[in-house]
């Protein structure tokens, strides 16, 4: 067995996971390794100061650390530091693009193309801007095994489509998008393409240049980093053409009561004092997963998915969603039992899963259910967690007969 194939055994790195607790909700938010917690603590304890403004040494040092974190994010996804905008998370990143790019570029009669599996954060901002400018939204269907149907997308897309926004990995189904093909289809029609990478960056290697997308967004807290920090990557020419999202300190060049001029990207989009220590924590999280190796993480989670799907399939009346090779996520339903009841019984058995619509109500309608139960894996999960998942399901079946 190669190092890449060997199971990971990293739960000791995560102080918030006590012995005997199966945490299977990583798609919602990942637990934090000690390396990230220590980086945050150091940032507040030993080195804290403002950035970009102070002339004293501590401020200069923190500015260097903050911008080094931006460079770390850029290397992680194959971009350049000047193409990275720090945001609160993917939701803010998508809203930024919706307001600053789509809101200024789209006109009445233009169209936006989404898919049936999108998170609400990749639906609602586009609805808001479409309503404002008079654009329309079209929706790409799914294949029988719950992937975005790129053949259907190629048949649907028209010159009126100015923007395509799709998830790299579904937060419900774990299905992985062929981003390069989707980008080629979008660009062939003259459209720009935004990729929601929230569930992808913790699981699969990402190279925005190779993917060919125009915008890529993700949140730090799903990548074993802190909450309240994330990143927008965009092509330099697009950022330079976009007006600022918010006004305030730091994002300016010169201010007078008659006229204000703005700083170049990415500073233009980072009004106010940033989440300084959050950026340091995000960089530490990236260093952590990079040291493990994303191919190894993906192989580890793929093995857990295979084991979980096989174990759940042995129960009568269980319905599994998503493809067999989903990336780290297994959604399921048990006939006659509400997913909230499953989640509650699992919790009594010290198993933490997600139950609900997962901020994907249109997808639930497509699947013909109101909600699903979802187990999602991280680097800290192993065979014991699959056993706990099975034991929890056995208890559900006993209770409901």
Tell me whether strands 318-321 and 329-334 are parallel, antiparallel or unpaired: antiparallel
The residues with which 166 forms a beta bridge, in sequence order, are 195
Per DSSP, 127 falls in state H
Active site residue ranges? 359
d(C-alpha 229, C-alpha 280), whole Å: 10
Phi/psi at 112 (5° precision): -120, 140
When computed from its CA atoms, the radius of gyration of the chain, rounded to whole angstroms, is 22
d(C-alpha 126, C-alpha 96), whole Å: 11
d(C-alpha 248, C-alpha 99), whole Å: 17
Phi/psi at 123 (5° precision): -125, -55
Distance of CA 202 to the CA centre of its chain: 8
d(C-alpha 332, C-alpha 344), whole Å: 15
Contacts of 201 (CB under 8 A, 6+ apart): 76, 77, 218, 222, 223
d(C-alpha 299, C-alpha 284), whole Å: 22
Sign of torsion, CA 115 119 125 131? Answer: positive
Give the containing element (helix H, strand E) for 218. Answer: strand 215-219
DSSP letters, 93-112, are HHHHHIIIIIHHH--TT-EE
Q: Where in 129-241 does DSSP place strands (E)?
A: 136-140, 161-167, 192-196, 215-219, 230-234
Per DSSP, 157 falls in state -
d(C-alpha 303, C-alpha 297), whole Å: 10
Q: How far is CA 33 from CA 221, 228, 288, in A?
A: 11, 17, 8
Half-sphere exposure of 95 (CA within 13 A, CB side): 13
Contacts of 131 (CB under 8 A, 6+ apart): none
d(C-alpha 372, C-alpha 321), whole Å: 9
């Amino acid at each position: 067995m190669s190092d890449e194939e060997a199971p990971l055994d990293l739960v000791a790195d995560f102080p918030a996971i006590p012995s005997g607790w199966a945490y299977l909700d990583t798609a919602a938010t990942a637990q934090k390794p000690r390396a990230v917690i220590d980086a945050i603590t150091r940032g507040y304890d030993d080195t804290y100061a403002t950035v970009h403004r102070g002339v004293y040494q501590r401020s200069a040092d923190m500015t260097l650390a903050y911008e080094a974190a931006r460079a770390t994010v850029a290397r992680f996804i194959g971009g350049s530091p000047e193409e990275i905008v720090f945001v609160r998370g993917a939701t803010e990143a998508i809203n930024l693009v919706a307001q600053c790019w789509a809101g200024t570029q789209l006109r009445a009669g233009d169209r936006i193309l989404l898919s049936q599996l999108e998170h609400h954060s990749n639906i609602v901002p586009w609805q808001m801007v479409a309503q404002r400018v008079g654009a329309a939204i079209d929706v790409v269907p799914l294949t029988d095994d719950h992937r975005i149907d790129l053949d259907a997308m190629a048949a649907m897309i028209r010159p009126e489509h100015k923007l395509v926004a799709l998830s790299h990995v579904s937060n419900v189904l774990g299905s992985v998008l062929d981003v390069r093909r989707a980008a080629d289809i979008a660009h062939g029609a003259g459209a720009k393409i935004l990729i929601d990478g929230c569930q992808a960056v913790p699981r699969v290697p990402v190279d925005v240049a190779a993917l060919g997308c125009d915008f890529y967004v993700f949140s730090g807290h799903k990548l074993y980093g802190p909450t309240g920090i994330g990143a927008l990557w965009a092509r330099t020419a697009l950022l330079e053409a976009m007006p600022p999202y918010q006004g305030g300190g730091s994002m300016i060049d010169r201010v007078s009561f008659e006229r204000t001029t703005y700083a170049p990207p990415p500073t233009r989009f980072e009004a106010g004092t940033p989440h300084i220590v959050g950026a340091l924590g995000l960089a530490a999280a990236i260093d952590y997963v990079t040291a493990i190796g994303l191919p190894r993480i993906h192989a580890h989670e793929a093995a857990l998915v295979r084991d979980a799907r096989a174990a759940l399939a042995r129960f009568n009346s269980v319905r599994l969603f998503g493809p067999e090779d989903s990336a780290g996520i297994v959604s399921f339903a048990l006939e006659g039992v509400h997913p909230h009841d499953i989640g509650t019984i699992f919790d009594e058995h010290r198993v933490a899963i997600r139950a609900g619509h997962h901020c994907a109500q249109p997808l639930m309608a497509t699947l013909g259910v109101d909600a699903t139960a979802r187990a999602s894996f991280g680097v800290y999960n192993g065979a014991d967690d699959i056993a706990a998942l099975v034991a929890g399901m056995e208890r559900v079946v006993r209770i409901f007969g």
